[in-house]
Structure 1
Amino acid sequence: MTVAFSNVSSLFSPANLESWWQIQGEWVEEPNDRRGGHSGVQRIWKDDTLLYAKRQTGHIHRSLLHPFGRPTVLRERDALLGARKAGVTVPEIIYCAAEHNAQGWRALLVTKALDGFQPIDEWYAGNGRERYGEALHQQLLQKVAQSLASLHTARWQHGCLYIKHIFVRISGEGQTLTPEVALLDLEKCRRRLTSKQAALHDMLQLRRHSPWDQADWQSLIGHYQRAMGRNFKTLYNATTR
């Protein structure tokens, strides 16, 4: 049985799972042994375009809809499509497919690199806040808040929202500099029954793993609540671990 998804731009030609599987590159996440199998990420090139390929063998998750399990890349594929539909910037899917045979599951998710983006914690470490000034930093906090609110309004919960999963890019020149925000690593992302469930889980988790002081956090939460159209008193007083 093969389950496939392909979103092919003019740069790529359709290919089956075996053809994509044979394209090898350097490991950026060495294969880990969990969930009954292996999963790792390689950096690969195709037609002079940088891609990331998540390779899995026997790496599955179980749910009420899939009691016998299915590869986690299929859940990540669904989340990437859902997030993009909600207006959140996430990696573009180039190819995704999963195959089940006598040896078990084999699955592959190929996404396009986010050109010019970097993890927001690296942006801070590189003195981005000092370089671009406080006004732009406040715009950045607003963009982070709006991106997360868009995700949660659509009832998608990231599920593993650490600061390293928020990426930033500063575009434009001079007085037209604009921060852009993207979200990565949606492998644990899932749909919740309510936006509140998604919001509280992710935002409290983010607070425990964030570099912001209380003033920055309250600024972010202010933007977030306005974007959500509701108040979460619990979030204002949340503290770091």
Structure 2
Amino acid sequence: MTVAFSNASSDLSQPSLDSWWQTQGEWVEAPNERRSGCSGVQRMLQHGQLLYAKKQTGHTYRSLLHPWGRPTVLRERDALLGALKAGVTVPEIVYCAAERGADGWRAMLVTKALEGFTPLDEWYASHAREQCDAALQQQLLRQIARCLANLHRARRQHGCMYAKHIFVRIQAAASEMHCEVALLDLEKSRRRLTRKQAALHDMLQLRRHSPWDQADWQSLIGHYQQAMGRTFKTLYNATRR
């Protein structure tokens, strides 16, 4: 049994899982055993394009629709496509496939690197915040809020909402600075019954793992509630741990 997906608009896609599996690169996330299987991520360069390849063997999750197990990269692929449809910038899928043989599942997800983007926690750790004026900081918080609101309005929960999974790119545009925001690592993402469920789970989790002081957090929540079109009193009073 083989399940495959490739980006037809990309000339990087190759016809088989075997050819991608044999392509090697630098391990940026060493293979680790979990979920009764193994998963790791390699960084590779092909045709001048930086790619990230997640390789898995027997690494599955179970659900009502898949009681016997399904590779987690397929759930991540679905989440990336769902987030993109909701208007969220995410890594572009180049290739994704899963194959079940006599020894179990083998699966792979290849995405393009987010060129020019930096993890939010690293951006703050580099003291870039101190070099920004108040207007740019507010623009950044507003863009993050809109990005997360787009995801949650689609009832999609990220599931692992840490600052390191929010990526930012700040560039000069028409003599002004312009902020862009993207999300990474949607392996645990899933749909929720309501927008509120998705919102509270992710935003409270983000608060516990965020770099913001209370003033910046309240500003972010103000932008977020405006983008969501509703209020969440619980979020204003959330504190870091």
Q: TM-score, normalised by structure 1?
A: 0.98
2:112 equivalent to 1:112: yes
Stretches of structure 1 that go unaligned for 5 or more consecutive residues are: none
Aligned pairs for 1:130-145 within 5 A: 130-145=130-145
Aligned residues: 241
Shift of 1:134: 1.8
1:233 alignment counterpart: 233
Instruction: Look up the match of 2:83.
Output: 83
- Shift of the alpha carbon at 1:228? 0.3
Matched, 1:206 2:206: yes
Q: Say which SS state the counterpart of residue 19 (structure 1) adopts.
A: helix
8 Å contact from structure 1 (residues 8, 95) kept in 2: no
Opposite residue 177 of structure 1, the aligned amino acid is: M
How far off is 1:46 after superposition?
1.2
For 2:194 and 2:152, how far apart are their aligned partners in 1?
A: 9
- What is the SS of the residue equivalent to 2:175? helix
Moved more, 127-136 or 170-179: 170-179
Q: Which residue does 1:42 correspond to in 2? A: 42
2:43 and 2:138 map into 1 onto residues whose CA distance is 33
Aligned with 2:38: secondary structure? Answer: strand
Aligned partner of residue 201 in structure 2, secondary structure = helix
Which SS does the other structure have where 2:87 is aligned? coil
Unaligned 5+ residue runs, structure 2? none
5 Å-filtered alignment, 1:1-241, equals 1-173=1-173, 175-241=175-241
Give 1:44 shift. Answer: 0.8
Q: Is the 8 A contact 2:44 2:53 kept in 1?
A: yes
For residue 45 of structure 1, report the CA deviation from its aligned partner: 1.2
For 1:145, the aligned partner's letter is A
Per the TM alignment, residue 173 of structure 1 is displaced from its structure 2 partner at its CA by 4.5
Q: CA deviation at 1:10?
A: 4.2
Q: What amino acid is aligned across from residue 101 of structure 2 in structure 1? A: N
Quote the Cα distance in structure 2 between the aligned partners of 1:11 and 1:118.
26
RMSD over aligned CA atoms reads 1.0
Single out whichever of 74-83 and 164-173 deviates more from structure 2: 164-173
Q: How far does residue 177 in structure 1 lie from its aligned partner after superposition?
A: 1.0
Would the aligned equivalents of 2:14 and 2:20 in 1 still touch at CA under 8 Å?
no
Give a deviation string over 1:54-112, Cα, whole Å, max 9, x none. Answer: 00000000001100010000000000000000000000000000000110000000000
Deviation string 1:175-222 (CA, Å, 9 cap, x unpaired) is: 321010000000000011111100000000000111111100000000
Amino acid at match of 1:231: T
Task: Using the TM superposition, name which of 130-139 and 157-166 deviates more.
Answer: 130-139
Q: For residue 237 of structure 2, what is the amino acid of its counterpart?
A: N
Structure 1 residue 9, shift from structure 2 partner: 3.0
**Residues 25 and 43 of structure 1 are in contact (CA less than 8 Å); yes or no, is this contact kept in structure 2?**
yes
Separation in 2 of the partners of 1:209 and 1:43?
A: 26
Q: How many angstroms apart in 2 are the aligned matches of 1:219 and 1:203?
A: 13
Give the 3-state SS of the residue equivalent to 1:28 in structure 2.
Answer: strand
> Identity rate of aligned residues, in percent?
74
The answer on whether the counterparts of 2:31 and 2:39 sit within 8 Å (CA) in structure 1 is yes
Counterpart residue identity of residue 29, structure 1: E
TM-score (norm 2): 0.98
Instruction: State whether residues 6 and 13 of structure 2, in contact with CA within 8 Å, keep that contact through their aligned partners in structure 1.
Output: no
Measure the CA separation in 1 of the matches of 2:172 and 2:50: 23
Q: Assess if the C-alpha contact under 8 Å between 1:158 and 1:188 holds in 2.
A: yes
Q: Which amino acid aligns with 1:109?
A: L
Task: Assess if the C-alpha contact under 8 Å between 2:118 and 2:169 holds in 1.
Answer: yes
